[in-house]
Structure 1
Amino acid sequence: MSREIPYTNRELSWIDFNFRVLYQAFDKNNPLLERLKFAAITASNLDEFIMVRVGGLMYMRKRGKRRKDPSGMTPYAQLKAINKRVNQMYCEQYTHYTKTLEPALAGKGFKRKRYSELSSEQKSFLDDYISRELAPVLTPSAVELDAVKPLIHNLELNMLVRIEGEKKNKDKYAVMPLGIETKRFILLPSDVGRCEFILLEDAVKEHISNWFEGCKVLECCSFRPTRNADIELQEDEAPDLLTGMEEVLEERKSSDCIRVEIESGVSARAEEFLRELLGCDKKWTFRLDGPLDLKAFMEMTSVEGFESLKNEPWHPQPSDQIDPSAGIFEQIQKKDILLYHPYESFDPVIRFVEEAAGDPSVLSIKLVIYRTSSKSPMAAALKRAAENGKYVTALVELKARFDERSNIEWARVLENSGVQVIYGVKGLKTHSKVCVVVRREETGVVRYVHYGTGNYNDKTAKLYCDISYMTCNEALGFDATAFFNSVSGYSQPQNLRRLYMSPITLRKKITQLIEAETERAKNGQQAQITAKMNSLVDEKLIGKLYDASKAGVEIKLNVRGICCLKPGVEGLSENITVTSIVDRFLEHARIYCFYQGGSENIFISSADWMTRNLDKRVELLVPIDSKHCKKRLKSFLETHMADNVSSWTLLPDGSYRKNTPRKGEKRLRSQEELYLQACRRTERKRQKVIDKLTPHMGEN
Structure 2
Amino acid sequence: MQQASSAGEAAGTSVEAIVEQKPLLTDYNNPEYYINRELSHLNFNIRVLDQALNDEHPLLERLRFLLIFSSNMDEFFEIRVAGLKQQIEFAREQVGLDGMPPSEVLKEISRLTHQQVERQYNILNEVLFPALREQGIHFVRRSELTDAQRSWIRTYFFQEVMPIVSPIGLDPAHPFPRLANKILNFIVELDGKDAFGRETGMAIIPAPRSLPRLVRLPPHICPDGGDHFLFLSSIIHQHAEDLFPGMIVKGCYQFRLTRNSDLSLEDDDVEDLATALQGELLSRRYGDAVRLEVVDNCPRYLSEFLLNQFGLTEDERYEINGPVNLTRLFDVCDIENHEEKQFTPFTPGYPKGLPTKSDRLLDTIAKGDVLLMHPFQSFTPVVDLLRQSAKDPQVLAIKQTLYRTGSRSQMVDALVEAARHGKEVTVVVEIRARFDEEENLKLARRLQEAGAIVVYGVVGYKTHSKLMLIVRREGRKIVRYAHLGTGNYHAKNARLYTDYSLLTCDPDLTSDVHKVFQQLTGMGKAMRVKKLLHAPFTLKKGLIERINHEAERAKNGEKAHIIIKVNSVTEPVMIKALYKASQAGVKIDMVVRGICCLRPGIVGLSENIRVFSIVGRFLEHTRVFYFYNGGDEQVLCASADLMIRNLDKRVETCFPVENPKLVIRIRRELESYLSDNTRSWTLLPDGTYDRKHPVRNQKERNAQQFLLETLSN
TM-score of the alignment, normalized to the shorter chain, above 0.5: yes
Q: Aligned AA for 1:219? A: G
Q: How far is the alpha carbon of 1:330 from its aligned partner? A: 0.8
Q: How far is the alpha carbon of 1:508 from its aligned partner? A: 0.5
Distance in 2 (alpha carbons) for counterparts of 1:380 and 1:40: 32
Q: Aligned AA for 1:181? A: S
Give CA deviations for 1:615-669 in whole Å, capped at 9, x if unaligned. Answer: 0111001011112221221111111111111101111111111101111222110
Q: 1:238 to 1:143 in 2, by over 3 A?
A: farther
Q: What is the Cα-based RMSD across aligned positions, in Å?
A: 1.7
Q: How far is the alpha carbon of 1:282 from its aligned partner? A: 2.1
Partner SS, residue 497 of structure 1: coil
Distance in 2 (alpha carbons) for counterparts of 1:145 and 1:47: 33
TM-score by length of 1: 0.95
Distance in 2 (alpha carbons) for counterparts of 1:120 and 1:148: 39
Q: How far is the alpha carbon of 1:526 from its aligned partner? A: 1.1
Give CA deviations for 1:144-183 in whole Å, capped at 9, x if unaligned. Answer: 5896543211011112212225599974322222122211
Give CA deviations for 1:451-470 in whole Å, capped at 9, x if unaligned. Answer: 00000000110000000000
**Match of 1:179?**
208
1:250 to 282, 286, 302: 282
Q: How far is the alpha carbon of 1:358 from its aligned partner? A: 0.8
Distance in 2 (alpha carbons) for counterparts of 1:191 and 1:171: 43
Q: 1:486 to 1:618 in 2, by over 3 A?
A: same
1:439 to 459, 472, 480: 472
Distance in 2 (alpha carbons) for counterparts of 1:3 and 1:191: 66
**Match of 1:12?**
39
The 8 Å contact of residues 87 and 94 in structure 2, kept in 1 or not, is answered as: no
**Match of 1:696?**
none
Q: 1:416 to 1:601 in 2, by over 3 A?
A: same
The 8 Å contact of residues 214 and 328 in structure 2, kept in 1 or not, is answered as: no
The 8 Å contact of residues 485 and 499 in structure 2, kept in 1 or not, is answered as: yes
1:551 matches 2:584: yes
Higher alpha-carbon deviation: 264-273 or 382-391: 264-273
**Match of 2:638?**
605
Give CA deviations for 1:581-609 in whole Å, capped at 9, x if unaligned. Answer: 00000000001001111101110000011
**Match of 2:135?**
108
Which aligned pairs between 1:366-385 and structure 2 lie closer than 5 A?
366-385=399-418
Distance in 1 (alpha carbons) for counterparts of 2:84 and 2:171: 30
The 8 Å contact of residues 536 and 564 in structure 1, kept in 2 or not, is answered as: yes
The 8 Å contact of residues 321 and 337 in structure 1, kept in 2 or not, is answered as: no
Distance in 2 (alpha carbons) for counterparts of 1:238 and 1:142: 41
Give CA deviations for 1:100-153 in whole Å, capped at 9, x if unaligned. Answer: 111111111101112221222222211111111111111112335896543211
**Match of 1:688?**
none
Distance in 2 (alpha carbons) for counterparts of 1:407 and 1:150: 31
Distance in 1 (alpha carbons) for counterparts of 2:114 and 2:198: 32
1:200 to 224, 228, 232: 232
Give CA deviations for 1:417-449 in whole Å, capped at 9, x if unaligned. Answer: 111001111101110000001011125111000
**Match of 1:151?**
178
Distance in 2 (alpha carbons) for counterparts of 1:409 and 1:259: 31
Q: 1:567 to 1:213 in 2, by over 3 A?
A: same
**Match of 1:461?**
494
**Match of 2:91?**
64
The 8 Å contact of residues 603 and 624 in structure 1, kept in 2 or not, is answered as: yes
1:632 matches 2:659: no
Distance in 2 (alpha carbons) for counterparts of 1:165 and 1:437: 72
Higher alpha-carbon deviation: 147-156 or 629-638: 147-156
**Match of 2:390?**
357
Higher relative contact order (CA 8 A, sep 6+): 2
1:509 to 526, 542, 554: 542
1:236 to 263, 268, 277: 268
Q: 1:211 to 1:170 in 2, by over 3 A?
A: closer
**Match of 1:449?**
482
Q: Aligned AA for 1:368? A: T
Higher alpha-carbon deviation: 164-173 or 499-508: 164-173
Distance in 2 (alpha carbons) for counterparts of 1:67 and 1:60: 7
Distance in 1 (alpha carbons) for counterparts of 2:644 and 2:622: 18
The 8 Å contact of residues 372 and 457 in structure 1, kept in 2 or not, is answered as: yes
Q: How far is the alpha carbon of 1:281 from its aligned partner? A: 2.1
Share of identical aligned residues, percent?
39
Q: 1:144 to 1:602 in 2, by over 3 A?
A: farther
The 8 Å contact of residues 31 and 99 in structure 2, kept in 1 or not, is answered as: no
Give CA deviations for 1:458-492 in whole Å, capped at 9, x if unaligned. Answer: 01100000000000000011111100110111133
Q: 1:146 to 1:528 in 2, by over 3 A?
A: farther
Distance in 2 (alpha carbons) for counterparts of 1:536 and 1:555: 14
**Match of 1:390?**
423
Q: How far is the alpha carbon of 1:201 from its aligned partner? A: 0.5
Partner SS, residue 236 of structure 1: helix
Q: Aligned AA for 1:108? A: Q
**Match of 2:523?**
490
1:531 matches 2:560: no
Which aligned pairs between 1:34-49 and structure 2 lie closer than 5 A?
34-49=61-76
1:288 matches 2:317: no
Distance in 1 (alpha carbons) for counterparts of 2:407 and 2:223: 36
Distance in 1 (alpha carbons) for counterparts of 2:632 and 2:667: 12
**Match of 1:698?**
none
Give CA deviations for 1:45-83 in whole Å, capped at 9, x if unaligned. Answer: 000000000000000010123442210010101101111
Q: How far is the alpha carbon of 1:578 from its aligned partner? A: 0.6
The 8 Å contact of residues 31 and 98 in structure 2, kept in 1 or not, is answered as: no
Q: How far is the alpha carbon of 1:186 from its aligned partner? A: 0.9
The alignment of Structure 1 onto Structure 2 pairs a total of residues equal to 680
Partner SS, residue 33 of structure 2: coil
1:667 to 700, 708, 712: 700
The 8 Å contact of residues 165 and 207 in structure 2, kept in 1 or not, is answered as: yes
1:299 matches 2:331: yes
TM-score by length of 2: 0.93
> Structure 2: any 5+ residue segments left out of the alignment?
1-27
Distance in 2 (alpha carbons) for counterparts of 1:344 and 1:536: 27
Q: Aligned AA for 2:72? A: N
Distance in 2 (alpha carbons) for counterparts of 1:655 and 1:544: 23
Q: Aligned AA for 1:10? A: R
2:653 to 620, 639, 642: 620
